[in-house]
Amino acid sequence: MKVYLLDVLGRGLRYFTDEKSLISYLNRDDNSGELIHRYKLQVVEAQVETDTDGKSYLENYNRETRERNQREGKLNAVLGDEYAIAVDKLITFIKDNAPDLFIKKKFLQDAELVPVEKKTFSKFIAKKSGYLLYEVSNKVEYYKLLLAVHNFKAIEDRYYAIRYDQFGKEFNEGGFTKDINKKNFTIAKSQLKN
């Protein structure tokens, strides 16, 4: 199968999967007075690499991404990368101690798709703050692990966290922060400064 890549100056790259469409496009521009002699055409011999449906492709991509991120995260932890070690400890704590709700399962699945690079993973943690700060645990030990991965400034009196209905659709639900969470977060934050 041939693919025709046409660099149309000023309009960007276009592609055609058959010669008839390409010729029709070129004739139209030639008749309208465009400078088609300046167009750059590249003919590529292509073959189908995979033939699958969208869901299977996405599942395969997610599986490969999870495996790659887990491999790289474990390798970085073994090599002594402090951030990778902190992420590994946090994820292990959540797996072992967070209440078994759908949100926990969803968080762990999403976390596996994020590379363990400080900037990227910290941004992911910040987006999940409603769950992580208020619902996983209220222990000082947990907050130390969380703060080692993302430096949260404070804990709010009221929070919003993502919830899922029985069909897996997301919605936000609010709540008031428990005093024990506020107290232990403050203790963990002060101990990390020392």
pLDDT value at residue 152: 92
Q: Buried b vs exposed e over 91-108: b needs ≥16 C-beta within 10 Å?
A: bebbeeebeeeebbebbe
pLDDT confidence band for 187 (50 / 70 / 90): very high
Q: Check whether 27 has a pLDDT greater than 80.
A: yes
Instruction: Determine the pLDDT at residue 167.
Output: 76
- Cβ pair 174, 159 in contact under 8 A: yes
Q: Quick check: 101 pLDDT over 80?
A: yes
Whole-number average pLDDT of the chain: 87
Question: What are 1-26's pLDDT values in tens digits?
Answer: 788 888 888 788 888 888 889 888 88
User: What mean pLDDT do residues 177-189 have?
Assistant: 92
Burial grade of 140 (CB within 10 A; 0-12, 13-18, 19 or more): middle
SS3 state of residue 157: coil
Residue 168 has a pLDDT of: 72
In tens, the pLDDT along 135-174 reads: 899 999 999 999 999 999 989 888 887 777 777 787 888 8
Q: What is the mean pLDDT of residues 184-188?
A: 93
Cβ within 8 Å of residue 104, ≥6 positions away:
94, 98, 136
* CA dist list (Å): 55 to 58, 67, 110: 5, 18, 17
pLDDT of residue 194: 58
Question: Which is more confident, 41 or 144?
Answer: 144
The model's confidence at residue 87, banded by pLDDT at 50, 70 and 90, is very high
What are residue 6's DSSP bridge partners? Answer: 14, 41
Which pLDDT score is estimated for 57? 79
User: Is 59:67 a contact under the CB 8 Å cutoff?
Assistant: no
Percent of the chain at pLDDT > 90 equals 35
Residue 170 near residue 164, CB atoms below 8 Å: yes
Confidence at 58, pLDDT banded by 50, 70, 90: confident
> What average pLDDT does range 37-51 have in this prediction?
80
* Continuous H helices in the chain: 19-31, 54-78, 82-97, 102-112, 118-127, 129-134, 140-149, 179-193
Find the mean pLDDT for residues 108-130: 92
DSSP annotation of 42 = E
User: Can you tell me the mean pLDDT for 73-79?
Assistant: 82
